[in-house]
Chains A and B, each alone.
Chain A
Amino acid sequence: AQKVTQAQTEISVVEKEDVTLDCVYETRDTTYYLFWYKQPPSGELVFLIRRNSFDEQNEISGRYSWNFQKSTSSFNFTITASQVVDSAVYFCALSASAGNTGKLIFGQGTTLQVKP
């Protein structure tokens, strides 16, 4: 079975704090992709990153960074020096290669509130 777990339901930080959102996944496939999406209060889903199972290099994009560790089946997302505009629901998702469908399996989401 494939599953994504985001154990943190809600996180509240003060602006400029660093915050890490956890994501743990389960799959038996050896080839899979992991994603992070952001859902701001306006409701749309914004793509942030895609990572394939063969690339464990960490990635940094501005204030965002991602840590992929196959050994612990985790794909954590860190926001450095958080800002109020980062307030949103963040979803981690998994797409496994079996069946060649590309469908996404989402975690329950983590609501991040950044206070001024």
Chain B
Amino acid sequence: DSGVTQTPKHLITATGQRVTLRCSPRSGDLSVYWYQQSLDQGLQFLIQYYNGEERAKGNILERFSAQQFPDLHSELNLSSLELGDSALYFCASSVGTSGIYNEQFFGPGTRLTVL
């Protein structure tokens, strides 16, 4: 158990819908990362928050957004869902952003299926 929790574990929805994925980092970790794992794109970095502020953006679609709340949990919002958004979404957390403070621990993932 990495200490990172993600809910829900599975999510099945229809095209055009909007969903919210939730992540609680390990106690003491300030940095939260979101990654998407799909068959065609592999594991890709989406976005990072550090202590409530956006720190870095990767290949995140405009239909997707995220935030980190004062209690440091994070939510990833996916809207206008398309079939191609079906993937495993991972959240990871680390103490900081670099060096020895960047050992990232991953949550169990949320498997999103868009029908």
Contacts and interface: CB of A to CB of B under 8 A. Distances in A.
A47 B103 contact: yes
Contacts of A47: 2, 103-106
Contacts of B96: 102
A95 B98 CA distance: 8
Majority secondary structure of chain A interface residues (helix, strand, loop or mixed): mixed
Contacts of B55: 100-101
A71 to B, nearest CB: 23
Please classify how large the interface on chain B is, using the bins under 10, 10 to 19, 20 to 34, 35 or more.
20 to 34
Contacts of A35: 104
A14 B108 CA distance: 29
Contacts of A97: 98
Given A45-B106, A52-B99, A103 B48 contact: yes
A102 B109 contact: no
Interface string A69-113: 000000000000000000000010001010111111111110000
